[in-house]
Chains A and B, each alone.
Chain A
Amino acid sequence: MSRPMFALLLAAAAPSFAADLTINIDGVASADGQVMVAVFNSTDSFLAKPVRAAAAPAHEGTVQLQVTGLPAGDYAFAVYHDANGNGKLDRNPVGMPTEDYAFSNNAFGKRGAPSFEEARIVLPADGAIASVNLR
């Protein structure tokens, strides 16, 4: 199926302004807990105020999450594996995360989180698939 045709079919099934972001999370270490995603749409709100959040039960390997109905535009997301199901990213006593995490683009910061720009992905109106690796 050609890509325009595919987009057309999608367009028929959803409002034209709503794009779907499919996130493939590779390298999930176990079936414990949940895989959590937070999606951000600006530098100012990055890691502070997500536009959307989603979660899926963990299983070993690749977990897929859908964030539907987003306006087309620029986004960045953060993912972590909440293996103990306590609803937060656990850290060791010197502040290093002890649960697996990743940012869109598999971006890393310098001694911390990356910037919105480094993690930025483009979500066109016909949707996008983004993959990250927790390892």
Chain B
Amino acid sequence: MINRRQFISLAALAAAPFPALADVIIESGGELAGQATVLGRLPADLNGVFYRNGPGRFELGSERYQHWFDGDGFAQRWQIAGGKVSHAGRFVATQKFEDESKAGRFLYPAFGSYFERKRYKNNDSINSANTNLLPFNGAVYALWEGGSATELDPQTLATRGIKTWRSDLKAMPFSAHPKMDPDGGLWNFGTAPGADKLVIYRLTAKGEVARTAIIPVPQLNMVHDFVVSGPHLIFLLAPYDFESGPGRSLRDCLQWAGERRPMRAVVIAKESLAVRQVFELPSRSVFHFGNAYEDGGCTRFDAILYQGDALLKTTLDARQALRKPGDGDGSTVQITLDYATGQAREARLFGASEFPRVAPQVVSARHRKLLVLGAGKHELTLDSVNLIDTDSGKVDGYAFGAGWQVEEHVLVPRRGARSETDGYVVGVAQDTHHGQTVLTVFDAHNIKAGPMALARLPYRAPVCFHGNFLPT
């Protein structure tokens, strides 16, 4: 039974898994590979690779990063084929990772931890490639948000190098949350800290730059994700000021200004790549979105909103994160932007939650189902998988219970799926009691029945942020 009025926030998520996460890395030695033991029934029509990425290294030379976003990218692939599940993972060989490994200590600034023992050429010199892993155009891309994508071999995950989509766009910020288009291409954006410029990319399915634009937007700070409807690109801009200074990490430059400024919703028209309208909402912060669609003269979309500065909740300083549990809980909200009245309305869909996803076939179209992880009432971590009907508000959910840390789950449609629930929900969870990382498979039509199959690794793998399933 899922309690929809929970008051434990993502704060808990950051605080709880860190010690375990550090253990994993120190033992991993840089590469992981293994066969999972499958319990339950793996569907015969579920075959493919689940590509995932997250921060894998938090400690070097007896120093420790202070923010969950700082660790170096550790790319992972879970292959589901013929009823068997295998796993492999390795660090993305970024310049930063290679230089720091050689030096035996941190050299460059990370998002929330400041080091500058070595000067560097540009943002790609400090690119940690740690946020998402996107199969696209025959390759996979380890994504960060402050610089280029890093191309990896889809079989071995060996690093091929920085990806420059077009020579004049070298080293441009390319966010970790591109949105796939029905034609196989994608939309993405980028922001450079303090530059107040929003970069828009439209790539074709072949990875060619079809369109790009630079849109000036004042006070454009901390934009992690966006959402796309048929005709619009929608951004929520939380009220952060950018105050740089010597010895400050990027996180330290982002000063919460929620007492002084509202949150803004900026709507860009795809046709013109210009701002169509800006809406004001009560000040909150945000990382992630579900999906957007047009409904008459309105755009509706889902987002997970936090009271106050959500970056406090992803810090690895447990005292800071836990100081006020319940203060600043994230909740899943449907926002409606009404162009005629200029008003933004909100409807609450779910309590403390994170990692929203929708089925791939409904991205930028009308959706009715939103998948989120929920944070349990008594557990200081995300521990449940929930499919929300965004029209009725009904929730089909399953809680893993004590000792589990649940990571992002994705919807995997059956071939020729006739609805958003005609398929599976695939994800990963950490069984901390047994020290095992587990692939989970649910019937998207019946989450509350629990996993159809669990594929247990004989080891713990680093916690991931985001990933994508590539069917085969």
Residues of A bordering B, CB below 8 Å:
90, 92-94, 96-98, 107-110, 114
Choose among A98, A108, A109, A114 the residue that contacts B170 (Cβ–Cβ < 8 A).
A98
Cross-chain contact B119 with A107 (CB below 8 angstroms):
yes
CA distance A48 to B405 in the complex (A): 57
What's the minimum C-beta distance from B259 to chain A, rounded to whole angstroms?
A: 29
Q: List, sorted by A's number, 9 A–B pairs whose CB atoms are closer than 8 Å.
A: A92-B168, A92-B170, A94-B192, A94-B197, A96-B170, A96-B171, A98-B167, A107-B119, A110-B116
Residues of B bordering A, CB below 8 Å:
116, 119-123, 167-173, 192, 195, 197, 199, 214
What's the minimum C-beta distance from B84 to chain A, rounded to whole angstroms?
A: 42
Q: Looking across the interface, which residue of chain B has its beta carbon closest to that of A84? A: B167
CA distance A115 to B206 in the complex (A): 42
Q: Looking across the interface, which residue of chain B has its beta carbon closest to that of A94? A: B192
Cross-chain contact A93 with B122 (CB below 8 angstroms):
no
Choose among B116, B119, B172 the residue that contacts A92 (Cβ–Cβ < 8 A).
B172
What's the minimum C-beta distance from A104 to chain B, rounded to whole angstroms?
A: 14
Query: B214 contacts which chain A residues (CB < 8 A)?
Result: 93-94
What's the minimum C-beta distance from B121 to chain A, rounded to whole angstroms?
A: 6
Query: B167 contacts which chain A residues (CB < 8 A)?
Result: 98
Cross-chain contact A108 with B120 (CB below 8 angstroms):
yes
Query: B199 contacts which chain A residues (CB < 8 A)?
Result: 93-94
Query: B171 contacts which chain A residues (CB < 8 A)?
Result: 92, 96, 98
Query: A90 contacts which chain B residues (CB < 8 A)?
Result: 168
Cross-chain contact A108 with B168 (CB below 8 angstroms):
no
Query: B197 contacts which chain A residues (CB < 8 A)?
Result: 93-94
CA distance A108 to B120 in the complex (A): 6
Cross-chain contact B195 with A110 (CB below 8 angstroms):
no
How many A-B contacts are there with CB distance less than 8 Å? 38
CA distance A36 to B168 in the complex (A): 19
Query: A98 contacts which chain B residues (CB < 8 A)?
Result: 167-171
What's the minimum C-beta distance from B197 to chain A, rounded to whole angstroms?
A: 6
CA distance A96 to B174 in the complex (A): 14
Query: A108 contacts which chain B residues (CB < 8 A)?
Result: 119-121
Query: B122 contacts which chain A residues (CB < 8 A)?
Result: 96-97
Add 20 more A-B contacts to A93-B199, A108-B121, A110-B119 (CB < 8 A): A92-B168, A92-B170, A92-B171, A93-B168, A93-B172, A93-B197, A93-B214, A94-B172, A94-B199, A94-B214, A96-B122, A96-B171, A96-B172, A98-B167, A98-B168, A98-B169, A98-B170, A108-B119, A108-B120, A110-B116
What's the minimum C-beta distance from B93 to chain A, rounded to whole angstroms?
A: 15
CA distance A120 to B199 in the complex (A): 37
Q: Looking across the interface, which residue of chain B has its beta carbon closest to that of A108? A: B119
Query: B116 contacts which chain A residues (CB < 8 A)?
Result: 110
CA distance A94 to B123 in the complex (A): 11
What's the minimum C-beta distance from B165 to chain A, rounded to whole angstroms?
A: 11
CA distance A97 to B170 in the complex (A): 8
What's the minimum C-beta distance from A112 to chain B, rounded to whole angstroms?
A: 10
Q: Looking across the interface, which residue of chain A has its beta carbon closest to that of B173? A: A94
Query: B173 contacts which chain A residues (CB < 8 A)?
Result: 94
CA distance A110 to B123 in the complex (A): 11
CA distance A125 to B257 in the complex (A): 59
Q: Looking across the interface, which residue of chain B has its beta carbon closest to that of A114? A: B119
CA distance A107 to B116 in the complex (A): 14
CA distance A97 to B167 in the complex (A): 11
Cross-chain contact B169 with A92 (CB below 8 angstroms):
yes
Q: Looking across the interface, which residue of chain A has its beta carbon closest to that of B147? A: A96
CA distance A107 to B197 in the complex (A): 28
CA distance A97 to B125 in the complex (A): 13
CA distance A98 to B380 in the complex (A): 45
CA distance A94 to B192 in the complex (A): 7
Q: Looking across the interface, which residue of chain B has its beta carbon closest to that of A93? A: B214
What's the minimum C-beta distance from B209 to chain A, rounded to whole angstroms?
A: 12
Query: A93 contacts which chain B residues (CB < 8 A)?
Result: 168-169, 172, 197, 199, 214
CA distance A110 to B117 in the complex (A): 12
Query: A96 contacts which chain B residues (CB < 8 A)?
Result: 122-123, 170-172
Q: Which among B123, B167, B199 has the highest number of chain A CB atoms within 10 Å? A: B167
Query: B119 contacts which chain A residues (CB < 8 A)?
Result: 107-110, 114
CA distance A109 to B197 in the complex (A): 23
Q: Looking across the interface, which residue of chain A has its beta carbon closest to that of B195? A: A94
CA distance A13 to B120 in the complex (A): 41
CA distance A35 to B199 in the complex (A): 30
Query: A94 contacts which chain B residues (CB < 8 A)?
Result: 172-173, 192, 195, 197, 199, 214
Q: Looking across the interface, which residue of chain B has its beta carbon closest to that of A107? A: B119
Q: Which among A90, A92, A98, A114 has the highest number of chain B CB atoms within 10 Å? A: A92
